[in-house]
């Protein structure tokens, strides 16, 4: 019995040792699990922080890319300021610093835009915009293309990102022919003369004269006519009426009070679809001929959106980043050139706006009133005020009815537009003596002058980084 009791005592002591051992093992295992979980948690925090900093840098890079596009929407003097990336002074400076090797002289040009970061005080809610960013362009002379570049860093400067997109130079105008007058409907008052565009109507056939494009036939009690270029002359001096300051080969300067379509002595022997005519077989009075295009299926008539027919740049881009916004046309004169967006009325009494070699494009939200012997060289576009809703708020799904607030156009005296006039809505021309004169030099300037060119992103050229 004594032996048995001794054994039970020894066994009870061993049970305590096992409990202790198991407890220690469990404690060690728990500790290891906690340490592993802590390590994973720390790693998750670091990964989340890295991802956040990467997003900060990426957002800044995208902002830089957008800034580069805004700066380059017009293609004027910045090209003259681009630096040769082969020079040591610019080799390490953004954006030349993105090139992997030193380029040959004159092959790569760079232009950087200094953009200081927004302060946290200025943007207290969206603090991610305090991330520093850079914007610029690189131009490879061999392919004559521009690459927009945005480079951004995280706020703590540990993250960085670069995005880029290629762009090509293009005109703000589409390629379709534009007549001297284009509108859904034209009510003609007073006296009007149209000098036709000789380069084709909607079908773009050679030698098809194009005076006006309307949805329905023009009406009015006016005396009006259209003729070919070269036959709009001073009825007294016979000088060609192109420019009031341009003399002909005989030294005669035209008086635009005397300019009219010159009669063709052979035209009476020719019968056109509208009957015989005395002014180069184009329209006069109520006799509408093929130079007055009423609707069209080739190409489709543009009257649902004349703006989109004429321009390759959206209303939003044109107003916000391409055109120069002006309160009204009072700031414009003969030395003005480029693209202007008038927020108010465009009135002109006498004088000139633009010139043959340096014309203007004026998009008018308000009304248009030309008086006296005014001369406007370029393209005047009256835009439906309600379409401006889409400009200021592109997400508005409930714009007003189209042409509820159309541009009113009043022409009194003897105004002259050397180029074209267009309107989204109907035009009532008033009782003036209006000359709508196609001038090939004006449209040539639209195609050649850098004031009317933009850099347009090339589709599918966006990349995360920069590819030489």
Weakest mean pLDDT among 1-5, 48-52, 396-400: 396-400
pLDDT of residue 452: 92
Question: Domain extents for the chain?
Answer: 1-171+455-468, 181-437
CA atoms in the 13 A half-sphere facing the CB of 448: 10
Instruction: Work out the average pLDDT over 248-258.
Output: 87
pLDDT averaged over every residue in the chain: 80
Q: From residue 77, how far is each of 43, 148, 421, 449 by CA, in Å?
A: 51, 17, 29, 12
pLDDT band for position 439 (cuts 50, 70, 90):
very high
Q: Is the pLDDT of residue 8 over 90?
A: no
Weakest mean pLDDT among 4-18, 153-167, 183-197: 4-18
pLDDT of residue 279: 46
Q: Is the pLDDT of residue 305 over 60?
A: yes
Q: From residue 378, how far is each of 95, 189, 235, 386, 459 by CA, in Å?
A: 38, 23, 25, 24, 31
pLDDT band for position 204 (cuts 50, 70, 90):
low
pLDDT band for position 217 (cuts 50, 70, 90):
confident
pLDDT higher at 132 or 392: 132
Weakest mean pLDDT among 105-109, 211-215, 276-280: 276-280
pLDDT band for position 444 (cuts 50, 70, 90):
very high
Instruction: Work out the average pLDDT over 209-229.
Output: 83
pTM of the shown model = 0.74
Q: Is the pLDDT of residue 22 over 90?
A: no
pLDDT of residue 194: 92
Answer positive or negative: Cα dihedral of 408, 413, 414, 416. Answer: negative
DSSP assignment string, 148-212: EEEEEE-TTS--EEEEEEEEEEEESB-SS---SEE-S-EE--SEEEEE-BSS-STT--TT--B-E
pLDDT of residue 114: 64
Per-residue tokens: 376: 């406007």
pLDDT band for position 10 (cuts 50, 70, 90):
low
* C-alpha to C-alpha distance for 149 and 163, rounded to whole angstroms: 6
Q: Pick the closest to residue 161 from 46, 50, 47, 70 (CA basis).
A: 50
Q: Is the pLDDT of residue 28 over 90?
A: no
Asked if omega into 388 is within 30° of 0 (cis), the reply is: no
Class of residue 185 by CB neighbours under 10 A (exposed 0-12, middle 13-18, buried 19+): middle
């Amino acid at each position: 019995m004594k032996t048995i009791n001794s054994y039970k005592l020894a066994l009870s002591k061993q049970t305590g040792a096992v409990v202790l051992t198991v407890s220690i093992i469990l404690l060690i295992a728990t500790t290891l699990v906690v340490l592993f979980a802590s390590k994973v948690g720390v790693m998750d925090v670091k990964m989340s922080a890295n991802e956040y900093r990467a997003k900060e840098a990426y957002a800044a890079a995208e902002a830089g890319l957008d800034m580069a596009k805004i700066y380059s929407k017009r293609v004027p003097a910045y090209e003259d300021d681009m630096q040769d990336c082969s020079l040591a002074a610019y080799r390490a400076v953004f954006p030349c610093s993105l090139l992997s090797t030193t380029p040959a002289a004159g092959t790569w040009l760079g232009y950087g835009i200094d953009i200081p970061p927004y302060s946290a005080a200025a943007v207290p809610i969206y603090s991610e915009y305090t991330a520093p960013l850079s914007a610029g362009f690189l131009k490879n002379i061999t392919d004559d293309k521009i690459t927009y570049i945005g480079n951004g860093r995280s706020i703590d400067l540990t993250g960085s990102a670069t995005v880029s997109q290629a762009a090509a130079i293009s005109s703000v105008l589409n390629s379709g022919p534009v007549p001297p007058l284009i509108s859904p409907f034209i009510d003609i008052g007073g006296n009007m003369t149209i000098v036709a565009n000789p380069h084709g109507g909607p079908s773009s056939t050679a030698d098809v004269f194009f005076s006006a494009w309307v949805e329905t036939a023009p009406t009015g009690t006016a005396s009006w006519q259209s003729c070919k270029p070269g036959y709009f002359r001073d009825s007294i001096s016979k000088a060609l009426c192109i420019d009031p300051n341009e003399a002909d080969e005989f030294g005669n300067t035209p008086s635009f009070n005397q300019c009219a379509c010159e009669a063709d002595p052979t035209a009476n022997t020719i019968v056109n679809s509208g009957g015989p005519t005395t002014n180069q077989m184009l329209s006069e009075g109520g006799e509408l001929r093929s130079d007055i295009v009423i609707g069209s299926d080739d190409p489709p008539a543009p009257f649902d959106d004349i703006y989109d027919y004429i321009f390759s740049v959206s209303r939003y881009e044109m107003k916000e980043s391409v055109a120069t916004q002006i309160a009204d046309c009072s700031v414009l004169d003969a030395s003005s050139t480029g693209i202007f967006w008038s927020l108010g009325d465009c009135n002109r009494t006498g004088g000139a706006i633009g010139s043959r070699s340096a014309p203007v494009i004026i998009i008018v939200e308000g009304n248009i009133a030309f008086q006296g012997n005014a001369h406007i060289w370029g393209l005047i576009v009256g835009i439906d005020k309600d379409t401006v809703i889409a400009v200021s708020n592109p997400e508005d799904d409930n714009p007003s009815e189209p042409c509820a607030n159309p541009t009113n156009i009043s022409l009194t005296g003897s105004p002259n537009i050397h180029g074209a006039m267009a309107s989204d809505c109907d035009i009532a021309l008033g009782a003036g003596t209006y000359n709508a004169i196609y001038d090939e030099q004006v449209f040539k300037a639209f195609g050649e002058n850098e004031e009317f060119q933009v850099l347009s992103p090339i589709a599918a050229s966006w990349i995360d980084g920069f590819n030489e």
